[in-house]
Structure 1
Amino acid sequence: MAMTQTQRFGIFAALALVMAATRIHHSTLHHFDALPDASWGVFFLAGFWLRGAARWAFPLLMAEAVLIDYVVITHLGIDFWSHYCVSAGYWFLIPSYGALWLGGSWLAKHQVGLRLSTLALAVVALLVSESLCYLISNGSFYWISANVPAPRSFAAWFENLGDWYLPFLQTTALYVGLGAVLHVLAVQVARLAQHRGQTQH
């Protein structure tokens, strides 16, 4: 479904708003309450809907994520760089979120419309990109952060990976699923409007 630049900006604004509304309550806390952080789902959906706009959309979403973290942490009276979750590994959020963006972008390139094959591709793209994002973000924190006590070991890391993987996957899948429903509705409405326009002429 081709989009105008105005529609792209509108989608970007909506995704940015969703991330702001959810991340501000969960920034660097990793809690899964009534309204979990939508950041991972936002980057995947942005890659899908805004494919071709990565030069401006991805940096802006990254800047928003960091700004939210900064505002939340400093509002608590804590120095940003001394917070538990902010370490050298924090910079690896860029490739982590980049993996999600690329997953959504890959899906947009290879999807074949509203078919079961597209659903299968979506599942694969989400699982691979979310797993890669999780591996990078979790691994960088575990192996680089000074806040993880020594000695470190692969056994302890794998245990930590297992503890948090499913909650992150479930949350990401929830938001991507909601985005997919909205996408299907938008496509159907566009088709209906196009059909009506053709019948009237």
Structure 2
Amino acid sequence: MATTSTQRLGIFAALALGLAVTRVHLSLFHHDIWDASWGVFFLAGFWLRGTGRWAFPLLMAEAVLVDYVVITLSGTNFWEHYCVSAGYWFLVPAYGSLWIGGSWLAKHQHGIKLTTLGMAAAALLVSENACYVISNGSFYWLSAHVAAPKSFAAWFENLGHWYLPFLQTTAAYVALGAVLHVLAVQLARVSQHSGQTQH
């Protein structure tokens, strides 16, 4: 949704900072701050639609780098950490689904209207569910840390354990982003109107 290069870079920097701070804090300080990663990728898809060739890979690389630094500083080998398995690399399509959801919303919304709110809720719910199934499923089925034998029944039970917390956290960050978006749009309108009346 950003229209100038300066706006895009500013938004990217803010989102990258939010991702880094909450992802590091989550790993180091035991969930005192909710991880904003999912919300960041959805909002980035919305605000930075059309920049996926550089913005998405950079945010993805940042997420992996933060994980690597935090895990390494804790004295654990990155490749031996509980969360790092063949399934870890499925975070790319998982986070990609959030980016696509935000990008779809940016393309189809028509300004600040009630219909946009409904579209936002639907886009967020669909992309969150896709992200959750991909990330949780890849970990369950591909990680050696999940005890065998594995079954669909056990996987569905595991899905249920974390489903609501992940969705609620992401929705909270996206709601915060929505409030900031509305405020920015309103301020831009006031500024534009003020500039027109002065002429």
Give 1:39's match in structure 2, choosing from 26, 37, 40: 37
User: Aligned-pair distance for 1:2?
Assistant: 5.1
Aligned-partner Cα distance in 2 for 1:114–1:76? 45
- Is 1:14 matched up with 2:23? no
Aligned to 1:188: 186
| Correspondence list, 1:18-167, <5 A | 18-27=18-27, 33-167=31-165
Give the 3-state SS of the residue equivalent to 1:55 in structure 2: coil
Aligned-partner Cα distance in 2 for 1:91–1:197? 49
Counting matched residue pairs gives: 199
Letter in 2 for 1:43: F
Give 2:175's match in structure 1, choosing from 174, 177, 189: 177
After TM superposition, the score normalised by the length of structure 1 is: 0.96
Q: Deviations over 1:86-119 (max 9, x none)?
A: 0000000000000000000000000010000000
After TM superposition, the score normalised by the length of structure 2 is: 0.97
User: Aligned-pair distance for 1:198?
Assistant: 1.1
Q: Deviations over 1:12-37 (max 9, x none)?
A: 000000011100022499xx733110
Aligned-partner Cα distance in 1 for 2:18–2:113? 27
Query: Percent identity between the aligned chains?
Result: 75
Aligned-partner Cα distance in 1 for 2:99–2:186? 25
Flag the 1:28–1:169 CA change in 2: closer, same or farther, 3 A.
farther
Letter in 1 for 2:46: F
For the 8 Å contact 2:25–2:31, the answer to whether it is kept is no
Aligned-partner Cα distance in 2 for 1:113–1:33? 35
The answer for unaligned runs of 5 or more in structure 2 is none
Aligned-partner Cα distance in 2 for 1:51–1:69? 26
Give the superposed CA RMSD.
1.4
The answer for unaligned runs of 5 or more in structure 1 is none
Aligned-partner Cα distance in 1 for 2:55–2:63? 12
For the 8 Å contact 1:27–1:68, the answer to whether it is kept is no
